Amino acid sequence: MSLRKTVAGLIGAGAATVAADGLLSALAGPLGPALPGRQETVRWRGFDVAYAEAGDPDDPDVLLLHGVHAAASSREFRGVWDALAEEYHVVAPDLPGFGRSDRPPVTYTSALYEAFAAAAIERLDDPAVVASSLTGSYAAIAAGDADVSRLLLVCPTADTAARREWLCDLFRAPVVGQAAFDCLVSKPSLRYFDAREAYAGPVPDGVVDYQWTSAHQRNARFAPASFVGGLLDPALDLGAELDARDVPVTLVWGREATTTPLSRGRELAEEADARLVVLDDAKLLPHDDHPERFRAAVAGDLP
Contact 34, 75 (CB under 8 A): yes
| Residue partners of 20: CB distance under 8 A and separation at least 6 | 179, 182
pLDDT band at 163 (very low <50, low <70, confident <90, very high): confident
DSSP, collapsed to helix, strand or coil, labels residue 128 as strand
Which DSSP symbol is given to 286? H
pLDDT for 116-137, tens place per residue?
Answer: 999 999 999 999 999 999 999 9
The span from the CA of 303 to the CA of 292, in Å, is 18
The span from the CA of 89 to the CA of 244, in Å, is 27
DSSP, collapsed to helix, strand or coil, labels residue 43 as strand
Q: What is the mean pLDDT of residues 18-28?
A: 56
Return the H-helix or E-strand segment holding 129: strand 128-132
pLDDT at residue number 26: 62
CB atoms within 10 A of CB 268: 25
pTM score, two decimals?
0.92
Burial class of residue 22 (count of CB atoms within 10 Å of its CB; 0-12, 13-18, 19+): exposed
**Mean pLDDT of the residues in the chain:** 92
pLDDT band at 24 (very low <50, low <70, confident <90, very high): low
DSSP, collapsed to helix, strand or coil, labels residue 38 as strand
pLDDT for 200-233, tens place per residue?
Answer: 999 999 999 999 999 999 999 999 999 999 999 9
The span from the CA of 56 to the CA of 127, in Å, is 14
Contact 226, 108 (CB under 8 A): yes
Which DSSP symbol is given to 95? P
The span from the CA of 259 to the CA of 282, in Å, is 12
Number of H helices, E strands in the chain: 13, 8
pLDDT for 90-120, tens place per residue?
Answer: 999 999 999 999 999 999 999 999 999 999 9
244 closest CA partner among 151, 155, 140: 140
pLDDT for 224-260, tens place per residue?
Answer: 999 999 999 999 999 999 999 999 999 999 999 999 9
pLDDT at residue number 23: 54
154 closest CA partner among 278, 26, 238, 21: 278
pLDDT band at 161 (very low <50, low <70, confident <90, very high): confident
